[in-house]
A and B are shown apart, each in its own frame.
Chain A
């Protein structure tokens, strides 16, 4: 038993070191977080740049004689009063001298209807901001006209802001269900990508050893099962290394994220940004929410543990099956057809992710996520998005373990025969036949 162990260890070590040392691994491990940082950077840069940009200037042609002054007072960078006629303004817009003008007719206070003339474009936010700005003013004016009390006006101006709070045993907390669902997607896709990438690494490694006739030399030293298992474990360890590295980078980024966000969205800036971002003055509280989000929200360690578990268990199942496929063919080009039955159950859950995430506690989600071949992708998505009952987690662990043992058993029987078979391109039927040998 002792000798057997050390040979497997040698294989694991060989697979791990030769892969970790490879340029491809080092590049992809470092480049992926860099790409994320770059994305952050671009978002921040765009925000910063749009700050300095002059927004659309709107001329206000005010026939009411009251609203225009208040509107300009709200945002002098955007609005200004004009005395020109409608025809002149229209011409200026056409010539591009003016972004647009707001025409307030005499009865605007009563009807609340007005037209904005622009050369087109400007986006939804642009119209909304004009609307919300004039609405506030007109409501105040109307209230003043009917002689409403100042306290009533204040009450109306208070507006509505709904924040979702999550009820937990430790008390109420801020709820980020949308963010969590989004994270479920991301983690599901990440496991999908990792299983495919590392599964195909295993397959290619097996094909390389077979095509270059290395496997026969190794098989004269080590049992085929140990060769296969050592490879699966070694390459799995490479995947784990990469994921752990990313986790550390992401944790650091996330912790820094709060202070970075706070830096860019300091309360004094908030008004300036909100004014220019075109979302209206009313969204000031949102800026605080972003800062709060970074400081209060954190990925629970439980989700990270679950992610690692589902990634590894999924990888082990599929990598074993990919190894079996690799052992059957002489060259990589022949593998595509045979690997389809293995790839399909990885792709199917990705198609179901939207359904599962729209109701992560529903029956469909529960049943689908408990099918072992789908579990790694769908269960991590659910775990991230909602509180999955413990019994379901437990059941998924048991089912995955059983599936892994089954996959390993089937794969090793095919592998043992496959690595020595050359020549004829095997069909799926051949694999079944090999599996039944002995």
Chain B
């Protein structure tokens, strides 16, 4: 059963339509990617789910109930723009936010200590937020999001500001929560994280859903028409091939898409060999989400632009 059901929500600000008839469903116990370029309407959508804004049209239901003040307690929201009271002590901050989710003070206190220890932040209780580094503040903020043990978490760019070690710690915590049956909505621009963590996703652009489904299905749906090559030598001749779109190119790795199904990979291989390129890897793969993202959003933007010109 879907823990969250978004059904045809629309939100306009004056003449500007931020969200236009968006629908999707999040399965319980899954990690769900909410993706889209800047200004796509992600934040507005999240704010409607968290009951900060109200949709003009459409409904949002969580665990079968319409979203509202009572539902807010079962959600934990980590906004992209982080915020803590600079002058407040870490422990007071955590207790305050937990109490706003109606967790009694003593429970909040013991849980806060547990979590601080778990994130390698034991002993920070009485430090003021302004005394902490940015990464430390991020940890406190993350703890404040989950201290009330919500079954549904909405994390907007949770890894920003973390070093690779802390990113891994956070990832393992999120995956641990998933294994406990909790649901996570993950909004991020880092597609690699989505590929690693998400089960399902929805991609929105300009206020509408342009792609949705399971990550696996979406990738296989785009077919194995991407080639990854690792090599040594000069591959510039690829530029002359018609029907090839290069996604990523570096000194000794190239990823390109075969847009024209008539192109034979054998031709490319033969040409490479005749140019004296040593090949370490040549593989037909599913496209990366990164590529899909650029492909889908780019196509739609181009289409809109053309429509705009016709009008």
- Using a CB–CB distance below 8 Å, which chain A residues touch chain B? 3-4, 6-7, 10-11, 14, 18, 208-209, 212-224, 420, 433
Fill in one digit per residue for B43-55: 1 if any A CB lies within 8 Å of its CB, else 0.
Answer: 0000100111100
- A212 and B47 in contact, given A10-B96, A219-B52, A221-B73 (Cβ under 8 angstroms): no
| Given A214-B83, A215-B83, CB of A220 within 8 Å of CB of B50 | yes
B10 at the interface (CB under 8 A from A): no
* With contact pairs A217-B144, A221-B97 given, residues A4 and B69 touching in the complex (Cβ less than 8 Å): yes
Say whether, besides A10-B100, A14-B96, A212-B86, A220 and B51 are in contact (CB < 8 Å): yes
Contact A7 B84 (CB under 8 A): no
CB distance from B39 to the nearest CB of A (A): 13
Are B83 and A221 in touch, CB under 8 angstroms? Answer: no
Ordered by A's residue number, 18 sampled pairs between the chains whose C-beta atoms are within 8 Å are A3-B73, A6-B102, A7-B100, A209-B83, A212-B83, A212-B86, A216-B83, A217-B83, A217-B97, A217-B144, A220-B51, A220-B52, A220-B79, A221-B97, A222-B100, A224-B52, A420-B53, A433-B14
* B83 x A10 contact (CB < 8 A): no
Contact check, B100 vs A216: say whether CB atoms are below 8 A apart.
Answer: no
A220 pairs with B88, CB closer than 8 A: no
Smallest CB gap from B88: residue in A: A18
Report yes or no: B73 in contact with A213, Cβ–Cβ below 8 A.
no
Closest Cβ of chain B to A18, distance in Å, is: 7
B interface residues (Cβ-Cβ under 8 A, vs A):
14, 47, 50-53, 69-70, 72-73, 75, 77, 79, 81-88, 92, 96-97, 99-102, 144
Cross-chain contact B75 with A220 (CB below 8 angstroms):
yes
B102: chain A residues within 8 A (beta carbon): 3, 6-7
Contact B86 A221 (CB under 8 A): no
B158 CB to nearest chain A CB (Å): 14
Residues of A within 8 A of B100 (CB): 7, 10-11, 218, 221-222
Residue of B nearest to A230 (CB): B100
What are the residues of chain A within 8 A of B97 when measuring CB–CB?
Answer: 217-218, 221
A168 to chain B, nearest CB (A): 53
- Pairwise interchain contact B69-A3, C-beta atoms closer than 8 A: yes
Are B88 and A216 in contact, with the CB atoms below 8 A? Answer: no
| B84–A214 touching, CB < 8 Å | yes
Q: Give 3 nearest A-B pairs by CB, closest first.
A: A213-B83, A214-B83, A220-B77
| Residues of B contacting A14 in the complex (Cβ-Cβ under 8 angstroms) | 96
Q: In the assembled complex, which residues on chain B have CB atoms less than 8 Å from the CB atom of A208?
A: 85
Q: CA separation between A217 and B84, bound complex, in Å? A: 9
Given contacts A10-B96, A220-B50, A223-B69, whether A213 and B79 have CB atoms under 8 Å apart is yes
B205 to chain A, nearest CB (A): 22
Which B residues lie within 8 Å of A10 (CB)? Answer: 96, 99-100
**A214 and B129 alpha carbons, distance in the complex (Å):** 13
Q: How far is the CB of A25 from chain B (nearest CB, A)?
A: 13
- Determine the chain B residues whose CB is within 8 A of the CB of A433 once the complex forms: 14
Chain B residues lying within 8 Å of A18, measured Cβ to Cβ, are: 85, 87-88, 92
Contacts A18-B92, A222-B69 supplied; 6 other A-B pairs, CB < 8 Å: A10-B100, A18-B88, A213-B83, A216-B77, A220-B51, A222-B72
A216 touches B70 (CB 8 A): no
Q: How far is the CA of A194 from the CA of B50 in the complex (A)?
A: 37
Q: What residue of chain B has the Cβ atom nearest to residue A2's Cβ? A: B102
**Residue among B72, B86, B88, B100 having the largest count of chain A Cβ atoms under 10 Å:** B100
Chain A residues with CB under 8 Å of B53's CB are 420
For B75, the closest partner residue in chain A by CB is A220
- Minimum CB–CB distance from B220 to chain A (whole Å) comes to 36
Enumerate chain B residues within 8 angstroms of A4, measured Cβ to Cβ: 69
Contacts of A209 in B (CB 8 A): 83
Give bound CA distance, A209 to B75, whole Å: 21
- Chain A contacts of B82 at CB under 8 A? 213
Partner pick for B52 among A6, A7, A214, A420, CB 8 A cutoff: A420
Contacts of A11 in B (CB 8 A): 100
B92 — which chain A residues lie within 8 A by C-beta? 18
Smallest CB gap from B53: residue in A: A420
Query: For the complex, what is the distance from the CA of A415 to the CA of B144, rounded to whole Å?
Result: 24
- Bound Cα distance A5, B141 (Å): 25
A212 and B75 within 8 A (CB): no
The answer on a CB contact under 8 Å between B51 and A212 is: no
In contact, B84 and A221 (Cβ under 8 angstroms): no
- Verify B85–A214 contact, CB threshold 8 A: yes
> In the bound complex, do residue B77 and residue A217 qualify as a contact, i.e. CB atoms below 8 Å apart?
yes
* Cα separation A12 to B96 with both chains bound (whole Å): 11
Closest to A210 in B: B83
- A220, B72: Cβ atoms closer than 8 Å: yes
